[in-house]
Chains A and B, each alone.
Chain A
Amino acid sequence: MKYINIDKKNWAGGLENLYGNYRLFGPAKNNKHHIFKELGKGELPDLNYLNTLPSPKSIAFPQSETMFEYSLDENKKGHHILKEINKDYSPRALIGIRPCDAASFLLVKRNFDTPEYKDPYWLRAYEATIFIGLACSSPYSTCFCTSAGCGPFHEDGLDLLLVDEGKNFIAKILTPRGEKFIKSAGWETEADPTVAEKIIKNMKIKAEEKIASFVSTDQLKNKSTTRLYDATFWDDIAFACINCGTCTYVCPTCWCFDIQDEVSRNSGLRMRNWDSCMYPLFTIHGTGYNPRNTKVQRVRQRFMHKLKYYVDRYNDGIQCVGCGRCIRLCPVNIDIRKVCDIMNNYGSSSRLET
């Protein structure tokens, strides 16, 4: 494994070298919180942050994205026929993404990149993106990544992991793409791998110790889907929910979308927009019949999808990376950690079963 020492004095210069070769995206302060945004020339990512408020999923899955365009003008050739649109899929670098969010891209990839169908929009954007992670040394109290299949120094999904050592970053090169990125930046000072590894290992242990909350997921696979579905605890879980959908919008692993046509005069667009299983419109039929008409049904759908249906379908972890955004931002304090434990323990003690 190769490690590079990046003196922070050379940070801005390196990014300057990268600018033009990559579209650079990084955390930036917006109001009181951080978001991921495209960085202009000379603009530096603000790496002094815990995590962005919205997840960086929009890099590959924008909240609104145009799919096709068409003309409704019958005098024009090819009217009413949908046409693809050229998009910018030039290389882009996501600088300073947290390991949990990087892991979410791998998880979401299962949905957009299937053996039968490939979602070209998500996949092209994903393939154009190089992931420069920033190891996490001060988690939120709501973080539970270590028991959700990743961790503050997790490397899956990253091309490069940056570890902040105060005056410098140690960059751990994880893929050839990461190596190419480092080279284009001109950061060349190799670090002694044994020393670097030791430093990172120690920091990693300390960071993991700071993760104060956990979920247990070991029994989810064994539970009967229909029994969990029919359980009576959903009424209590859903009681306070106002069905706002914040949890799904800020979640890095929620991928559901709607497809809509928008027309202005004679030119139209077909676009897709984020959608949410929290909304009644999500499942309502044209006839008005809605198989998920009540709030309890919708809350159940969200948790069952993340913690049971996903588990059953892919047999590899839960559809959650433990970033804690839904817990922090829920207006009524619904906590996925509690729900996960209730589901995981369901049926194994009489107290929880009722």
Chain B
Amino acid sequence: MQNPYLPYPVRIDEIITETEDKNLKTFKLVFLNPDDEEKFSYMPGQFAELSVAGKGEVPIGIASSPTEKGYLKFTVNKVGLVTTCLHSMKPGDIIGVRGPLGRHLWDTLKGKNVVIIGGGFAFTTLRSSIVYMLDPLNRMNFKDINAIYGSRSPGMLLYRDELAVWETRDDINMHITVDGTDDPDWKYNVGFVPTITEQKAPPGNSDTYALICGPPIMIKFTQPVLDKLGYAHDHIIMSLEMRMKCGIGICGRCNIGKEYVCKDGPIFTLAELDNMPKEY
């Protein structure tokens, strides 16, 4: 019997400090046993439990894309016990990865226009999605791709180098924005994500899906904008955050309504969320 609680051992290969407040670091992880990489077959939007021996586990969205071989990437915000310990680790240290966990909706998105809306440090699985869709082998499976990504300031944007490259490409309409900046050389948008969405996002129709991930306040104000643009609730895809332990729908912690967020989500359409208690 396979033990779904047993993490794959991985080595920290590289640690990148992403933001100016140094609270977000990206960990590039390499499987100790090369066979495990094949077993860990994932899609963008899924997450994994990062396991630190002696501290515990923490559920983190996968920031790398399955098209990127040989490693996994996770961008981790320093918040609690496990993430604080992760932030103090160095390349070469051994941790564990358990997953992939959660569902994805890529069957639904095939052949559609995709609008990505992200805010702050919740851009990790959206980065995975963009890299996945822009891969030469996948790009023809999607129509127009728009991406709106905002943060408080330029220094708080994740993956800045990649964002700049995406801005120059013609197979994705990238809209980077910040709440405000005093940088005279800032050449992108200034304004909150809902405002930029209203200006830049294409109107909703049966062929267009919006993927939103961000802080609750951003989601709260973006949702009316999408309603106004004509997005049906089953065309708005969101991700929930809950305290989790097992990640496989057994320990009961992330239960909302009849769903276990870890296994039946964490990605839900807004239409699905409309029928669930608002307890998240």
Contacts and interface: CB of A to CB of B under 8 A. Distances in A.
Given a CB threshold of 8 Å, the question of whether A touches B is answered with: yes
Query: What class of interface size applies to chain B in its complex with A?
Result: 35 or more
A297 B56 CA distance: 27
Contact of A282 (B6, B243, B249, B275): B243
A84 B96 CA distance: 14
Given A72-B54, A114-B249, A261-B54, A225 B79 contact: no
B249 A257 contact: no
Contacts of A304: 277
Interface string A58-96: 000000000110101000000111101000000000000
Interface string B267-280: 00000000111011
Contacts, number: 131
A136 to B, nearest CB: 28
B279 A257 contact: no
Given A81-B94, A257-B251, A291 B280 contact: yes
Contacts of A328: none
Interface string A251-276: 00001111111010000101010010
Given A84-B6, A117-B4, A225-B277, A256 B54 contact: no
Interface string B66-88: 00000000000001110100000
B17 to A, nearest CB: 19
Interface stretch (B106-114, B159-167, B227-235, B255-263): B255-263
A70 B242 contact: no
Nearest to A310: B258
Contact of B54 (A116, A268, A297, A310): A268
A117 B5 CA distance: 10
A84 B2 CA distance: 11
Given A81-B94, A283-B243, A119 B277 contact: no
A286 B79 CA distance: 6
B98 to A, nearest CB: 9
A20 to B, nearest CB: 26
A258 B251 contact: yes
Contacts of A84: 3, 6
Contact of A283 (B3, B246, B253): B253
A123 interface: yes
Nearest to A284: B243
B74 to A, nearest CB: 15
B7 A256 contact: no
B252 interface: yes
Interface of B: 1-7, 9, 32, 51, 53-58, 79-81, 83, 93-96, 241-243, 245-246, 248-253, 255, 257-258, 263, 275-277, 279-280
20 contacts: A70-B54, A81-B96, A82-B6, A82-B96, A111-B252, A118-B1, A118-B2, A119-B4, A119-B250, A120-B2, A225-B276, A226-B275, A256-B252, A257-B246, A259-B251, A261-B54, A270-B53, A275-B253, A283-B243, A305-B252
Interface of A: 67-68, 70, 72, 79-82, 84, 111-112, 114, 116-120, 123-124, 225-226, 229, 255-261, 263, 268, 270, 272, 275, 277, 282-287, 291-292, 297, 301, 304-305, 309-310, 312-313
